[in-house]
Amino acid sequence: MGLRDALFGRKKLSEPRDDRLFALATAAVTLETELGLTTAGKAAVTFKPLSSGDFTRVDTDVESLIKAAGRSAGSEIERKSDSYGFEWLIVHDDDLEDQVTAVHAVAQELTDQGFGAQLLAAPFLFKGYQHPVYWIYGFKRGAFWPFIPTGDGQNRDNAEELELKAKLEKELPVEQDLTRWLALFDAPL
Amino acid sequence: MKRRSYGRDAGLTLRMLFTTGLLGLLYVFFGLVLVYFLNVGIAPMIILLGILAFVQYYTSDRLALLAAGAKVVERDQAPDLHDMVERLCGMADLPKPKIAVMDTPVPNAFATGRSPKHAAVCVTTGLWHRLEPREIEGVLAHELSHIANRDVLTMTIASFFATLAAFITRWFLWSGMFGGFGGSNRDNNNGPPVWLIVIAVSIVVYAISFILIRALSRYREYAADRGSALITGAPEYLMSALQKISSQMTLIPQQDLRQVQGMNAFFIIPARARTMASELFLDHPPLEKRMAALAKIAREMGRPVS
Protein backbone atom coordinates (compact mmCIF):
# COMPACT_ATOMS: atom_id res chain seq x y z
CA MET A 1 0.00 0.00 0.00
CA GLY A 2 2.63 2.53 1.11
CA LEU A 3 4.65 2.83 -2.08
CA ARG A 4 1.61 2.61 -4.33
CA ASP A 5 -0.09 5.36 -2.39
CA ALA A 6 2.96 7.54 -2.75
CA LEU A 7 3.26 6.88 -6.47
CA PHE A 8 -0.33 7.12 -7.57
CA GLY A 9 -2.30 8.54 -4.67
CA ARG A 10 -4.77 6.66 -2.52
CA LYS A 11 -7.60 5.12 -4.40
CA LYS A 12 -9.76 3.96 -1.54
CA LEU A 13 -10.31 4.31 2.17
CA SER A 14 -9.17 1.50 4.37
CA GLU A 15 -11.70 -1.19 5.16
CA PRO A 16 -13.10 -1.54 8.68
CA ARG A 17 -11.85 -4.10 11.14
CA ASP A 18 -14.72 -5.15 13.34
CA ASP A 19 -13.18 -8.40 14.53
CA ARG A 20 -11.96 -6.99 17.85
CA LEU A 21 -15.24 -5.34 18.78
CA PHE A 22 -16.34 -8.21 21.01
CA ALA A 23 -13.29 -7.80 23.22
CA LEU A 24 -15.23 -5.07 25.02
CA ALA A 25 -17.95 -7.50 26.06
CA THR A 26 -15.24 -9.83 27.39
CA ALA A 27 -13.60 -7.01 29.32
CA ALA A 28 -16.89 -5.98 30.93
CA VAL A 29 -16.19 -7.88 34.15
CA THR A 30 -12.80 -6.26 34.68
CA LEU A 31 -14.27 -2.88 33.86
CA GLU A 32 -16.88 -3.30 36.53
CA THR A 33 -15.04 -5.12 39.32
CA GLU A 34 -11.60 -3.55 39.08
CA LEU A 35 -12.29 -0.13 37.60
CA GLY A 36 -15.81 0.52 38.82
CA LEU A 37 -17.11 1.28 35.37
CA THR A 38 -20.54 0.07 34.32
CA THR A 39 -22.37 0.69 31.09
CA ALA A 40 -24.58 3.76 31.00
CA GLY A 41 -26.92 1.88 28.68
CA LYS A 42 -25.87 3.71 25.57
CA ALA A 43 -23.65 2.98 22.61
CA ALA A 44 -23.54 4.24 19.05
CA VAL A 45 -22.02 3.65 15.69
CA THR A 46 -21.12 6.61 13.53
CA PHE A 47 -20.40 6.70 9.83
CA LYS A 48 -19.97 9.16 7.00
CA PRO A 49 -22.82 8.94 4.51
CA LEU A 50 -22.04 9.11 0.81
CA SER A 51 -24.03 11.43 -1.38
CA SER A 52 -25.01 8.64 -3.71
CA GLY A 53 -28.29 6.96 -4.51
CA ASP A 54 -26.73 3.57 -3.88
CA PHE A 55 -25.75 4.49 -0.38
CA THR A 56 -29.11 6.02 0.52
CA ARG A 57 -30.81 2.75 -0.37
CA VAL A 58 -28.38 0.68 1.69
CA ASP A 59 -28.60 3.17 4.52
CA THR A 60 -32.38 2.76 4.80
CA ASP A 61 -32.00 -1.02 4.63
CA VAL A 62 -29.44 -1.04 7.42
CA GLU A 63 -31.56 1.19 9.60
CA SER A 64 -34.71 -0.90 9.28
CA LEU A 65 -32.72 -4.10 9.69
CA ILE A 66 -31.06 -2.93 12.85
CA LYS A 67 -34.32 -1.60 14.26
CA ALA A 68 -35.95 -4.97 13.73
CA ALA A 69 -33.00 -6.74 15.34
CA GLY A 70 -33.10 -4.23 18.20
CA ARG A 71 -36.75 -4.94 18.92
CA SER A 72 -36.12 -8.64 19.30
CA ALA A 73 -33.14 -8.02 21.61
CA GLY A 74 -35.11 -5.50 23.64
CA SER A 75 -32.99 -2.50 22.72
CA GLU A 76 -34.10 0.76 21.27
CA ILE A 77 -32.44 2.25 18.20
CA GLU A 78 -32.36 5.95 17.55
CA ARG A 79 -30.95 7.86 14.60
CA LYS A 80 -29.30 11.27 14.63
CA SER A 81 -27.02 13.32 12.45
CA ASP A 82 -24.43 15.74 13.75
CA SER A 83 -23.12 19.09 12.59
CA TYR A 84 -20.08 17.46 10.97
CA GLY A 85 -22.20 15.50 8.54
CA PHE A 86 -21.82 12.15 10.26
CA GLU A 87 -24.75 9.81 10.88
CA TRP A 88 -25.29 8.15 14.24
CA LEU A 89 -27.22 5.00 15.07
CA ILE A 90 -27.65 5.01 18.82
CA VAL A 91 -28.39 1.84 20.76
CA HIS A 92 -30.23 2.10 24.10
CA ASP A 93 -29.79 -1.14 25.99
CA ASP A 94 -28.78 -1.94 29.55
CA ASP A 95 -26.78 -4.96 28.48
CA LEU A 96 -23.29 -4.21 27.16
CA GLU A 97 -23.21 -7.40 25.14
CA ASP A 98 -26.42 -6.46 23.33
CA GLN A 99 -24.90 -3.07 22.55
CA VAL A 100 -21.81 -4.69 21.09
CA THR A 101 -23.92 -7.11 19.07
CA ALA A 102 -26.05 -4.30 17.66
CA VAL A 103 -23.01 -2.18 16.73
CA HIS A 104 -21.39 -5.20 15.14
CA ALA A 105 -24.54 -5.91 13.15
CA VAL A 106 -24.55 -2.38 11.71
CA ALA A 107 -20.87 -2.62 10.80
CA GLN A 108 -21.35 -6.06 9.27
CA GLU A 109 -24.31 -4.98 7.20
CA LEU A 110 -22.61 -1.86 5.87
CA THR A 111 -19.50 -3.90 5.05
CA ASP A 112 -21.55 -6.58 3.30
CA GLN A 113 -23.15 -3.94 1.14
CA GLY A 114 -19.73 -2.60 0.21
CA PHE A 115 -19.78 0.56 2.31
CA GLY A 116 -17.59 -0.59 5.19
CA ALA A 117 -15.05 2.14 4.50
CA GLN A 118 -17.63 4.74 5.56
CA LEU A 119 -17.58 3.50 9.18
CA LEU A 120 -15.74 5.82 11.56
CA ALA A 121 -16.13 4.78 15.17
CA ALA A 122 -18.36 3.23 17.82
CA PRO A 123 -18.42 4.95 21.22
CA PHE A 124 -19.70 3.03 24.26
CA LEU A 125 -20.76 5.15 27.22
CA PHE A 126 -19.83 4.13 30.78
CA LYS A 127 -20.58 5.59 34.20
CA GLY A 128 -18.97 5.28 37.60
CA TYR A 129 -16.46 8.12 37.46
CA GLN A 130 -16.91 11.81 38.04
CA HIS A 131 -17.13 12.40 34.29
CA PRO A 132 -18.75 10.24 31.65
CA VAL A 133 -16.31 7.69 30.24
CA TYR A 134 -16.38 6.57 26.62
CA TRP A 135 -14.62 3.59 25.18
CA ILE A 136 -14.38 4.38 21.51
CA TYR A 137 -13.81 1.65 18.95
CA GLY A 138 -12.11 2.89 15.82
CA PHE A 139 -13.13 0.81 12.84
CA LYS A 140 -10.07 1.79 10.79
CA ARG A 141 -7.74 0.88 13.63
CA GLY A 142 -9.44 -2.19 15.05
CA ALA A 143 -8.75 -0.94 18.56
CA PHE A 144 -10.35 0.88 21.46
CA TRP A 145 -9.34 4.05 23.25
CA PRO A 146 -10.79 5.87 26.24
CA PHE A 147 -12.31 9.32 25.97
CA ILE A 148 -13.26 11.32 29.08
CA PRO A 149 -14.65 14.78 28.35
CA THR A 150 -14.58 16.92 31.50
CA GLY A 151 -17.55 18.97 30.37
CA ASP A 152 -15.86 22.37 30.65
CA GLY A 153 -15.18 23.49 27.12
CA GLN A 154 -13.30 20.99 24.98
CA ASN A 155 -11.13 19.44 27.63
CA ARG A 156 -10.51 15.78 28.19
CA ASP A 157 -9.07 14.15 31.26
CA ASN A 158 -5.85 12.82 29.74
CA ALA A 159 -4.46 11.53 33.04
CA GLU A 160 -7.49 9.38 33.68
CA GLU A 161 -7.52 8.19 30.08
CA LEU A 162 -3.90 7.09 30.26
CA GLU A 163 -4.57 5.31 33.53
CA LEU A 164 -7.45 3.42 31.94
CA LYS A 165 -5.19 2.49 29.05
CA ALA A 166 -2.55 1.14 31.44
CA LYS A 167 -5.06 -0.84 33.44
CA LEU A 168 -6.96 -2.38 30.57
CA GLU A 169 -4.21 -2.95 28.02
CA LYS A 170 -3.96 -6.64 28.77
CA GLU A 171 -7.66 -7.35 28.31
CA LEU A 172 -8.64 -4.98 25.57
CA PRO A 173 -6.93 -4.07 22.29
CA VAL A 174 -6.08 -0.45 23.16
CA GLU A 175 -4.81 1.89 20.45
CA GLN A 176 -1.12 2.47 21.18
CA ASP A 177 -0.65 5.53 18.99
CA LEU A 178 -1.98 8.41 21.09
CA THR A 179 -2.29 10.67 18.05
CA ARG A 180 -5.16 8.45 16.93
CA TRP A 181 -7.26 8.93 20.01
CA LEU A 182 -10.04 10.76 18.23
CA ALA A 183 -12.29 12.88 20.44
CA LEU A 184 -16.07 12.93 20.03
CA PHE A 185 -17.04 15.95 22.09
CA ASP A 186 -20.54 16.46 20.82
CA ALA A 187 -21.42 12.78 20.51
CA PRO A 188 -25.23 12.75 20.57
CA LEU A 189 -25.33 9.85 23.02
CA MET B 1 -19.94 -7.81 -1.69
CA LYS B 2 -16.78 -6.22 -2.94
CA ARG B 3 -17.39 -2.84 -4.43
CA ARG B 4 -15.22 -1.08 -6.94
CA SER B 5 -14.02 2.04 -5.22
CA TYR B 6 -15.08 5.39 -6.61
CA GLY B 7 -12.66 7.69 -8.25
CA ARG B 8 -10.60 5.00 -9.92
CA ASP B 9 -8.87 6.65 -12.81
CA ALA B 10 -6.75 4.34 -14.92
CA GLY B 11 -5.81 7.22 -17.22
CA LEU B 12 -4.47 9.27 -14.34
CA THR B 13 -2.49 6.32 -12.95
CA LEU B 14 -1.02 5.71 -16.39
CA ARG B 15 -0.08 9.35 -16.87
CA MET B 16 1.54 9.45 -13.42
CA LEU B 17 3.49 6.29 -14.19
CA PHE B 18 4.55 7.68 -17.58
CA THR B 19 5.66 11.03 -16.16
CA THR B 20 7.52 9.44 -13.26
CA GLY B 21 9.17 7.01 -15.67
CA LEU B 22 10.26 9.77 -18.03
CA LEU B 23 11.61 11.81 -15.16
CA GLY B 24 13.52 8.79 -13.88
CA LEU B 25 14.99 8.10 -17.31
CA LEU B 26 15.96 11.73 -17.74
CA TYR B 27 17.72 11.76 -14.39
CA VAL B 28 19.57 8.52 -15.08
CA PHE B 29 20.77 10.00 -18.38
CA PHE B 30 21.79 13.19 -16.59
CA GLY B 31 23.64 11.22 -13.93
CA LEU B 32 25.47 9.18 -16.59
CA VAL B 33 26.55 12.32 -18.45
CA LEU B 34 27.84 13.85 -15.22
CA VAL B 35 29.75 10.75 -14.24
CA TYR B 36 31.15 10.23 -17.72
CA PHE B 37 32.38 13.76 -18.30
CA LEU B 38 33.24 14.94 -14.86
CA ASN B 39 34.30 11.83 -12.96
CA VAL B 40 34.35 12.89 -9.32
CA GLY B 41 34.51 16.65 -9.74
CA ILE B 42 30.79 16.89 -9.27
CA ALA B 43 30.57 14.73 -6.16
CA PRO B 44 30.85 17.51 -3.55
CA MET B 45 28.08 19.43 -5.24
CA ILE B 46 25.76 16.42 -5.26
CA ILE B 47 26.50 15.78 -1.61
CA LEU B 48 25.92 19.43 -0.72
CA LEU B 49 22.63 19.54 -2.61
CA GLY B 50 21.64 16.22 -1.09
CA ILE B 51 22.15 17.64 2.38
CA LEU B 52 20.21 20.76 1.44
CA ALA B 53 17.32 18.73 0.05
CA PHE B 54 17.35 16.50 3.10
CA VAL B 55 17.26 19.43 5.51
CA GLN B 56 14.48 21.01 3.51
CA TYR B 57 12.54 17.77 3.48
CA TYR B 58 13.18 17.17 7.15
CA THR B 59 12.05 20.59 8.26
CA SER B 60 9.35 20.99 5.62
CA ASP B 61 6.47 21.25 8.09
CA ARG B 62 8.04 23.96 10.22
CA LEU B 63 9.66 25.71 7.27
CA ALA B 64 6.47 26.03 5.24
CA LEU B 65 4.46 27.24 8.22
CA LEU B 66 7.17 29.76 9.02
CA ALA B 67 7.37 30.97 5.43
CA ALA B 68 3.61 31.42 5.30
CA GLY B 69 3.54 33.17 8.65
CA ALA B 70 1.05 30.61 9.92
CA LYS B 71 0.51 29.97 13.59
CA VAL B 72 -0.11 26.51 15.00
CA VAL B 73 -3.39 26.54 16.91
CA GLU B 74 -4.27 24.26 19.80
CA ARG B 75 -7.64 22.73 20.42
CA ASP B 76 -8.93 25.46 22.73
CA GLN B 77 -8.11 28.14 20.15
CA ALA B 78 -9.98 26.48 17.29
CA PRO B 79 -12.13 23.63 18.64
CA ASP B 80 -14.34 23.31 15.55
CA LEU B 81 -11.38 23.12 13.21
CA HIS B 82 -9.75 20.49 15.43
CA ASP B 83 -12.94 18.43 15.58
CA MET B 84 -13.31 18.55 11.83
CA VAL B 85 -9.71 17.53 11.11
CA GLU B 86 -9.81 14.79 13.72
CA ARG B 87 -12.85 13.13 12.20
CA LEU B 88 -11.50 13.36 8.70
CA CYS B 89 -8.25 11.80 9.93
CA GLY B 90 -10.33 9.05 11.48
CA MET B 91 -11.95 8.39 8.12
CA ALA B 92 -8.64 8.55 6.25
CA ASP B 93 -6.82 6.47 8.88
CA LEU B 94 -4.17 9.13 9.38
CA PRO B 95 -2.57 10.42 12.59
CA LYS B 96 -3.72 13.92 13.45
CA PRO B 97 -1.46 16.56 11.90
CA LYS B 98 -0.53 19.90 13.43
CA ILE B 99 -3.17 22.48 12.64
CA ALA B 100 -2.20 26.00 11.73
CA VAL B 101 -4.05 29.16 10.81
CA MET B 102 -2.80 31.89 8.52
CA ASP B 103 -4.32 35.30 9.07
CA THR B 104 -5.28 36.51 5.61
CA PRO B 105 -8.64 37.19 3.97
CA VAL B 106 -7.59 35.12 0.94
CA PRO B 107 -9.44 31.82 1.26
CA ASN B 108 -6.90 29.04 0.85
CA ALA B 109 -5.32 26.03 2.53
CA PHE B 110 -2.16 23.96 2.28
CA ALA B 111 -0.60 20.87 3.74
CA THR B 112 3.06 20.13 4.36
CA GLY B 113 5.30 17.71 6.20
CA ARG B 114 7.62 14.85 5.35
CA SER B 115 5.39 12.03 6.56
CA PRO B 116 1.88 11.58 7.94
CA LYS B 117 3.41 11.60 11.42
CA HIS B 118 5.17 14.92 10.85
CA ALA B 119 2.58 16.84 8.94
CA ALA B 120 0.75 20.11 9.23
CA VAL B 121 -2.43 21.45 7.70
CA CYS B 122 -2.91 25.17 7.39
CA VAL B 123 -6.07 27.08 6.57
CA THR B 124 -6.43 30.82 6.14
CA THR B 125 -8.91 32.76 8.21
CA GLY B 126 -10.52 33.76 4.92
CA LEU B 127 -11.26 30.12 4.13
CA TRP B 128 -12.75 29.54 7.54
CA HIS B 129 -15.01 32.58 7.39
CA ARG B 130 -16.10 32.58 3.77
CA LEU B 131 -16.85 28.92 3.15
CA GLU B 132 -19.58 26.63 4.45
CA PRO B 133 -18.51 23.88 6.90
CA ARG B 134 -19.00 21.09 4.36
CA GLU B 135 -16.95 22.99 1.83
CA ILE B 136 -14.17 23.52 4.37
CA GLU B 137 -14.34 19.80 5.04
CA GLY B 138 -13.82 19.09 1.35
CA VAL B 139 -10.77 21.37 1.28
CA LEU B 140 -9.31 19.85 4.45
CA ALA B 141 -9.83 16.35 3.06
CA HIS B 142 -7.97 17.41 -0.09
CA GLU B 143 -5.03 18.56 2.05
CA LEU B 144 -5.12 15.38 4.15
CA SER B 145 -4.96 13.40 0.91
CA HIS B 146 -1.77 15.25 0.02
CA ILE B 147 -0.39 14.04 3.35
CA ALA B 148 -1.61 10.49 2.82
CA ASN B 149 -0.10 10.47 -0.68
CA ARG B 150 3.22 11.77 0.69
CA ASP B 151 3.39 14.57 -1.81
CA VAL B 152 6.19 16.50 -0.10
CA LEU B 153 8.44 13.44 -0.31
CA THR B 154 7.53 12.74 -3.92
CA MET B 155 8.07 16.29 -5.07
CA THR B 156 11.34 16.64 -3.13
CA ILE B 157 12.73 13.56 -4.85
CA ALA B 158 11.30 14.59 -8.21
CA SER B 159 12.90 18.01 -8.13
CA PHE B 160 16.28 17.04 -6.68
CA PHE B 161 18.08 16.54 -9.97
CA ALA B 162 16.30 19.46 -11.56
CA THR B 163 17.80 21.62 -8.83
CA LEU B 164 21.19 20.06 -9.48
CA ALA B 165 20.90 20.79 -13.20
CA ALA B 166 19.98 24.39 -12.48
CA PHE B 167 22.94 24.67 -10.11
CA ILE B 168 25.41 23.22 -12.59
CA THR B 169 24.24 25.55 -15.32
CA ARG B 170 24.80 28.53 -13.09
CA TRP B 171 28.07 27.24 -11.68
CA PHE B 172 29.63 26.64 -15.07
CA LEU B 173 28.42 29.92 -16.46
CA TRP B 174 30.00 31.66 -13.49
CA SER B 175 33.32 29.87 -13.66
CA GLY B 176 33.24 30.29 -17.46
CA MET B 177 32.93 34.01 -16.97
CA PHE B 178 35.98 34.11 -14.74
CA GLY B 179 38.30 31.89 -16.72
CA GLY B 180 39.11 28.40 -15.40
CA PHE B 181 36.58 25.69 -16.13
CA GLY B 182 36.60 23.63 -12.95
CA GLY B 183 39.82 21.86 -13.90
CA SER B 184 38.10 19.78 -16.56
CA ASN B 185 40.34 20.44 -19.53
CA ARG B 186 41.20 16.85 -20.38
CA ASP B 187 40.10 16.85 -23.98
CA ASN B 188 40.37 20.47 -24.94
CA ASN B 189 41.97 19.69 -28.26
CA ASN B 190 39.30 17.75 -30.08
CA GLY B 191 35.51 18.09 -30.02
CA PRO B 192 33.55 20.65 -28.09
CA PRO B 193 34.86 21.49 -24.60
CA VAL B 194 33.51 19.48 -21.70
CA TRP B 195 31.93 22.43 -19.94
CA LEU B 196 29.87 23.25 -23.03
CA ILE B 197 28.47 19.71 -23.16
CA VAL B 198 27.68 19.73 -19.47
CA ILE B 199 25.99 23.12 -19.65
CA ALA B 200 23.97 22.10 -22.69
CA VAL B 201 22.89 18.84 -21.07
CA SER B 202 22.07 20.63 -17.81
CA ILE B 203 19.92 23.19 -19.56
CA VAL B 204 18.06 20.52 -21.50
CA VAL B 205 17.59 18.38 -18.38
CA TYR B 206 16.36 21.37 -16.44
CA ALA B 207 13.88 22.41 -19.12
CA ILE B 208 12.44 18.94 -19.59
CA SER B 209 12.31 18.15 -15.90
CA PHE B 210 10.59 21.48 -15.25
CA ILE B 211 7.73 20.46 -17.51
CA LEU B 212 7.62 16.90 -16.17
CA ILE B 213 7.60 18.05 -12.54
CA ARG B 214 4.79 20.47 -13.27
CA ALA B 215 2.85 17.66 -14.91
CA LEU B 216 3.45 15.41 -11.93
CA SER B 217 2.32 18.18 -9.61
CA ARG B 218 -0.91 18.59 -11.58
CA TYR B 219 -1.60 14.87 -11.52
CA ARG B 220 -1.13 14.83 -7.78
CA GLU B 221 -3.70 17.58 -7.44
CA TYR B 222 -6.18 15.39 -9.26
CA ALA B 223 -5.25 12.51 -6.97
CA ALA B 224 -5.81 14.69 -3.90
CA ASP B 225 -9.18 15.84 -5.26
CA ARG B 226 -10.12 12.21 -5.66
CA GLY B 227 -8.91 11.49 -2.12
CA SER B 228 -11.07 14.31 -0.83
CA ALA B 229 -14.11 12.86 -2.56
CA LEU B 230 -13.38 9.48 -0.98
CA ILE B 231 -12.94 10.86 2.52
CA THR B 232 -15.95 13.17 2.56
CA GLY B 233 -18.13 11.06 0.30
CA ALA B 234 -19.41 14.26 -1.26
CA PRO B 235 -17.33 15.71 -4.13
CA GLU B 236 -19.94 18.38 -4.80
CA TYR B 237 -18.83 20.34 -1.74
CA LEU B 238 -15.22 20.40 -2.84
CA MET B 239 -16.44 21.59 -6.22
CA SER B 240 -18.30 24.53 -4.75
CA ALA B 241 -15.35 25.25 -2.47
CA LEU B 242 -12.94 25.37 -5.44
CA GLN B 243 -15.33 27.61 -7.28
CA LYS B 244 -15.57 29.99 -4.34
CA ILE B 245 -11.83 29.99 -3.64
CA SER B 246 -10.85 30.65 -7.23
CA SER B 247 -13.38 33.44 -7.65
CA GLN B 248 -12.14 35.06 -4.45
CA MET B 249 -8.52 34.70 -5.52
CA THR B 250 -9.04 37.10 -8.38
CA LEU B 251 -10.92 39.65 -6.30
CA ILE B 252 -8.22 40.36 -3.78
CA PRO B 253 -5.64 43.10 -4.16
CA GLN B 254 -2.13 42.61 -5.59
CA GLN B 255 -0.46 43.23 -2.26
CA ASP B 256 -1.79 40.04 -0.74
CA LEU B 257 -1.06 38.01 -3.82
CA ARG B 258 2.61 38.88 -3.89
CA GLN B 259 2.89 38.13 -0.23
CA VAL B 260 1.67 34.57 -0.62
CA GLN B 261 2.93 33.79 -4.10
CA GLY B 262 5.96 31.86 -2.89
CA MET B 263 3.68 29.28 -1.34
CA ASN B 264 1.94 28.28 -4.55
CA ALA B 265 3.04 24.68 -4.84
CA PHE B 266 1.39 23.91 -1.54
CA PHE B 267 -1.90 25.75 -1.94
CA ILE B 268 -5.15 24.12 -2.95
CA ILE B 269 -5.51 26.86 -5.57
CA PRO B 270 -2.43 28.91 -6.37
CA ALA B 271 -2.43 32.64 -5.86
CA ARG B 272 -1.49 34.24 -9.14
CA ALA B 273 -1.37 37.84 -10.16
CA ARG B 274 -1.86 37.05 -13.84
CA THR B 275 -2.81 33.95 -15.72
CA MET B 276 -0.02 32.05 -17.38
CA ALA B 277 0.08 31.27 -21.04
CA SER B 278 0.09 27.51 -21.16
CA GLU B 279 -1.12 24.68 -18.98
CA LEU B 280 2.22 23.00 -19.58
CA PHE B 281 3.90 25.34 -17.11
CA LEU B 282 1.26 25.31 -14.38
CA ASP B 283 1.67 23.42 -11.12
CA HIS B 284 -2.10 23.16 -10.66
CA PRO B 285 -4.60 21.92 -13.22
CA PRO B 286 -7.04 24.52 -14.54
CA LEU B 287 -10.22 24.80 -12.52
CA GLU B 288 -12.49 23.53 -15.32
CA LYS B 289 -10.53 20.28 -15.58
CA ARG B 290 -10.59 19.73 -11.83
CA MET B 291 -14.33 20.38 -11.81
CA ALA B 292 -14.82 17.93 -14.66
CA ALA B 293 -12.82 15.23 -12.86
CA LEU B 294 -14.80 15.77 -9.66
CA ALA B 295 -18.09 15.74 -11.54
CA LYS B 296 -17.05 12.39 -12.98
CA ILE B 297 -16.49 11.00 -9.48
CA ALA B 298 -19.83 12.43 -8.38
CA ARG B 299 -21.50 10.70 -11.34
CA GLU B 300 -19.86 7.42 -10.37
CA MET B 301 -21.26 7.87 -6.90
CA GLY B 302 -24.69 7.94 -8.42
CA ARG B 303 -25.80 11.50 -8.02
CA PRO B 304 -25.24 13.54 -11.16
CA VAL B 305 -23.82 17.00 -10.67
CA SER B 306 -24.23 19.43 -13.52
Indicate the average pLDDT of chain A.
Answer: 88
Quick one: pLDDT at residue B237? 92
Quick one: pLDDT at residue A93? 93
Let me know: does B298 contact B232? Beta carbons within 8 Å. Answer: no
pLDDT exceeds 90 at position A55: no
Quick one: pLDDT at residue B177? 60
Identify from B13, B83, B136, B146 which residue to disrupt to test chain A contact, counting A C-beta atoms within 10 A and taking the largest count. Answer: B83
CA-based diameter of chain A, in Å?
Answer: 51
ipTM associated with this complex: 0.81
Let me know: does B217 contact B155? Beta carbons within 8 Å. Answer: yes
Query: What is the average per-residue pLDDT within A110-134?
Result: 91
Please confirm, yes or no, whether B143 is among the known catalytic residues: yes
Indicate the average pLDDT of chain B.
Answer: 80
pLDDT exceeds 60 at position A50: yes
Q: Which residues of B touch A8 (CB under 8 A)?
A: 12-13, 16-17, 223
Query: What is the average per-residue pLDDT within A76-94?
Result: 90
Helix ranges restricted to H, A9-156? 23-33, 53-73, 96-112
Query: What is the average per-residue pLDDT within B202-228?
Result: 90
State the pLDDT confidence band at B272, using cuts at 50, 70 and 90: low
pLDDT exceeds 60 at position B3: no
Quick one: pLDDT at residue A18? 77
b/e for B260-280, b at 16 or more Cβ within 10 A?
beebbbbbbbbbeeeeeeeee
Task: Please state, for a pLDDT cut of 70, what percent of chain B lies above it.
Answer: 78
Quick one: pLDDT at residue A134? 95
State the pLDDT confidence band at A135, using cuts at 50, 70 and 90: very high
Say which of A50, A155, A185 has its CB closest to residue B83: A185
Cβ atoms within 10 A of the Cβ of B25, count?
A: 11
Q: Which domains are present in chain A? A: 12-175 (3.30.70.1710)
**Looking at A102-116, A123-137, B45-59, which range is the least confident one?**
B45-59
B285 part of contact set with chain A, CB < 8 Å: no
- At CB < 8 Å, which residues of chain A contact B? 5-14, 48-55, 83-86, 112-115, 117-118, 120-121, 138, 140-141, 153-155, 177, 179-180, 182-183, 185-186
User: 3-state SS of chain B?
Assistant: CCCCCCCCCHHHHHHHHHHHHHHHHHHHHHHHHHHHHHCCCCHHHHHHHHHHHHHHHHCHHHHHHHHHCCEECCCCCCHHHHHHHHHHHHHHCCCCCEEEEECCCCCCEEEEEEECCEEEEEEEHHHHHHCCHHHHHHHHHHHHHHHHCCHHHHHHHHHHHHHHHHHHHHHHHHHHHCCCCCCCCCCCCCCCCHHHHHHHHHHHHHHHHHHHHHHHHHHHHHHHHHHHHHHHCCHHHHHHHHHHHHHHHHHCCHHHHHHHHHHHHHECCCCCCCCCCCHHHCCCCCHHHHHHHHHHHHHHCCCCCC
Query: Would you tell me which residues 73-102 of chain B have a C-beta closer than 8 angstroms to some C-beta of chain A?
Result: 75-76, 79, 82-84, 86-87, 89-93, 95-96
Query: What is the average per-residue pLDDT within A168-187?
Result: 90
CB contact under 8 A, A185 and B303: no
